[in-house]
Amino acid sequence: MIKNKTAVILSFVIILLIVLATLWHKKSAPLVVIQAGHEGRTKGNTGSSYSRLKEVDWNIYVANEAARKLREWGISVKRVGADTKVIKAKVAVAIHFDGAPKPCSSGASIGYQNKDSKEFANRWKKLYKSYYPFKWQKDNFTENLSKYYGYNYIKADKFLVLELGEITCKKQTKWLKPRLKTIAHLVAANIAREFGLDARVKLK
Ligand SMILES: [Zn+2]
């Protein structure tokens, strides 16, 4: 009898722990992960640069501003750098600007892995094409996009790697630089729409 009672109490405690762990996990898992490409890296792929412009600085600025905007709209966001522990999310977006050996031979592009992400990517392309006036590369046109290292530890239902323009092209950086905030808000709006929000951005 006593043995049974102990077993019942023990089972109850175990079930309670499982329920609490599940609830805690649900609460702690963010809906959205925004990654600033190359952030925190001191060696390896530290990102493109051109004269005094550094890709990583732009990535951080855009990632921070997109995260801030999403939080303002009530969406839970986790901002991560290049290297992070394994993390789950509904939507993840990595921010980059491309660099090309031959200046102005590249532009904007998108990397992704699955069908749901492809549809999400198409919506982004439509939105950003209405603003960004330069060249687009084919989706997944480099291994950095198609086999992005972040896929290994950011586990999201939809994951886009965005190259928002070419930082090694003066014509593009001249246009991009004063518009980084608006671009960040476009990135945020495209994500917010995934959650049913009618997010709009004034184009400047
Ligand atoms: Zn990059």
Model confidence pLDDT, tens digit, residues 101-111:
999 999 999 99
Helix 55-72 and helix 180-194, axial crossing angle in degrees, nearest 10? 50
- H-only helix segments in 29-95: 55-72
Calculate how far, in angstroms, residue 13's C-alpha sits from the geometric centre of ligand 1.
48
What was the pLDDT predicted at 202? 86
Q: Residues, the chain, total?
A: 204
In sequence order, the β-bridge partners of residue 94 are 35, 161
Calculate how far, in angstroms, residue 96's C-alpha sits from the geometric centre of ligand 1.
4
In sequence order, which residues have a C-beta less than 8 Å from that of residue 35 and are 6 or more positions away?
A: 63, 79, 80, 81, 82, 84, 92, 93, 94, 95, 150, 154
The mean pLDDT of 111-126, rounded to a whole number, is: 97
Cα separation of 202 and 204, whole Å? 6
Q: Is 80 exceeded by the pLDDT of residue 177?
A: yes
Calculate how far, in angstroms, residue 55's C-alpha sits from the geometric centre of ligand 1.
7
Calculate how far, in angstroms, residue 104's C-alpha sits from the geometric centre of ligand 1.
16
pLDDT band per the 50, 70, 90 thresholds, residue 30: confident
Average of per-residue pLDDT values in the chain = 94
Calculate how far, in angstroms, residue 161's C-alpha sits from the geometric centre of ligand 1.
9
For residue 179, give Cα distances in angstroms to 62, 121, 184, 199: 10, 21, 9, 18
Please report the beta strands in 40-171, taking only residues with DSSP state E, as ranges in sequence order: 49-50, 53-54, 77-80, 87-98, 108-111, 154-166
Calculate how far, in angstroms, residue 34's C-alpha sits from the geometric centre of ligand 1.
14
What was the pLDDT predicted at 25? 67
Question: How do residues 90-100 score in pLDDT, each as one tens digit?
Answer: 999 999 999 99
Cα separation of 179 and 182, whole Å? 5
Q: Is 90 exceeded by the pLDDT of residue 54?
A: yes
Q: Is 80 exceeded by the pLDDT of residue 24?
A: no
Q: In this prediction, what percent of the chain has a pLDDT beyond 70?
A: 97
Calculate how far, in angstroms, residue 163's C-alpha sits from the geometric centre of ligand 1.
7
Calculate how far, in angstroms, residue 62's C-alpha sits from the geometric centre of ligand 1.
13
Cα separation of 38 and 166, whole Å? 16
Calculate how far, in angstroms, residue 10's C-alpha sits from the geometric centre of ligand 1.
51
**Cβ distance 182 to 201 under 8 Å?**
yes
What was the pLDDT predicted at 1? 62
